[in-house]
Amino acid sequence: MKTALVTGGQGFLGHALTKELRARDYQVFTFDTQYGDPQFHRHGSVVDFESILYAVKDVDIVFHLAALLGTTELLNVNAEATDVNIKGAINVFEACHRMGVPKVFFPTKANIWLNTYTITKEASEKFAQMYRHVYGLDVRILRWLNAYGPQQKLFPIRKAVPIMILQALNVLPIEIYGDGNQMVELVYIGDVARVTIAYMEHSIGDSVIRDTGHIVRMSVNEMVTHIKKLTQSKSPIVYLPMRPGEESDKSVEFLPDSVIEFLGMKEETTDIESGLEDTIAYYRALPERAKFAALKFYYGFIPETGSATVRTKPYVL
């Protein structure tokens, strides 16, 4: 039985990856600042080198997912994001190098926006390449696209699919930043986990940086149309200025030969209707207190179902 460590294992992507690894008979430990099952969790921060050095001991593969997330949300915490996302990645690579970990996985971004998250992930990607080139560390990089699915948190990081579903279910105005014609590349969370593990188990040759590949590419307006249809919502649509850190006129730059195509997994992936149906069912079944907490976070109060309320809390830089 192989042993895997998932940093950031308590998060949306980490949880899905951990579940899929265990289904494949891996012994999985998580490493996170949040507490988990004491039997399979190693508590700590990637910023603390000694704790990550201890965590990777006797591990066959490390999936480094721990990071500070957000687009606009990180613009006021650039130094902290740099510490966690860049220094944290270096600590993981260095610890794996020293402990002789056979394989390391690291996800980055495909977009080219000028925001804190993208910049820190690009810098970390370069360090990953350096550790492979200089030290021979088998670190592999996937440029993940927009993962969606059950168990993605509604807040504090604003993600389009969860918040739009929440608004649709409560018949609140669905808020779109920009004109809605910008393209979004969607991959169901279960597919992300399966593709990532298959990539790490495969002999990849010289190409160590690949895009995950997108199952669906559509405009934000089209995505909202799907959500409204599947929730049977009469929510109106409102258009707001783009958030700081986002750019409406820049498309994702794709690398050739995505992993989904490379591994021949296209037919095994989840279509948009099925993926959104599962995701909507998850949010519909959430306890009311969880939905109310998200609504209060975004609006500053709990708006009445069916009201014309638009988000009132401004983004402050």
pLDDT in tens, 258-269: 767 767 776 678
For 300-307, what is the mean pLDDT?
65
User: Mean of the per-residue pLDDT values for the chain?
Assistant: 86
pLDDT of 204 reads 66
Burial class for 64, CB neighbours closer than 10 Å (0-12, 13-18, 19+): buried
Q: Is 80 exceeded by the pLDDT of residue 98?
A: yes
Cα–Cα dist 163/155, whole Å? 8
- Given the structure tokens 């307006």, which residue do they identify? 221
Cα–Cα dist 277/172, whole Å? 19
Give the tens place of pLDDT for each residue, 181-231: 988 888 899 999 998 999 898 876 555 666 665 567 889 999 999 999 999
- Per-residue confidence band for 123, with pLDDT thresholds at 50, 70 and 90: very high
Burial class for 73, CB neighbours closer than 10 Å (0-12, 13-18, 19+): buried
- Per-residue confidence band for 55, with pLDDT thresholds at 50, 70 and 90: very high
pLDDT of 202 reads 82
Q: Is 80 exceeded by the pLDDT of residue 77?
A: yes
- Per-residue confidence band for 314, with pLDDT thresholds at 50, 70 and 90: very low
The H or E element that residue 8 is part of is none
189 within 8 A of 16, measured Cβ to Cβ? yes
Give the tens place of pLDDT for each residue, 9-33: 989 999 999 999 999 999 999 998 8
Q: Is 90 exceeded by the pLDDT of residue 143?
A: no
Please measure the distance between the N-terminal and C-terminal CA atoms of the chain and give it in whole angstroms.
49
Pairing of strands 183-188, 216-219: antiparallel
pLDDT of 310 reads 56
138 within 8 A of 183, measured Cβ to Cβ? no
The b/e string for 113-137 (b: 16+ C-beta within 10 A; e otherwise) is: eebbbbbbbebbbebbeebbeeeeb
Partners of 28 in the beta sheet?
4
pLDDT of 140 reads 92
Q: Which are the contacts of 180, defined by CB distance < 8 A and separation ≥ 6?
A: 219, 220, 221, 224, 237, 239
163 within 8 A of 157, measured Cβ to Cβ? no
pLDDT of 307 reads 57
| Tokens linked to 203 | 């002999």
Q: Is 90 exceeded by the pLDDT of residue 250?
A: no
pLDDT of 43 reads 87
| Tokens linked to 297 | 């976070």
Domains of the chain from N-terminus onward: 1-144 (3.40.50.720), 146-185+214-254+266-312 (3.90.25.10)
pTM: 0.88
Length of the chain: 317
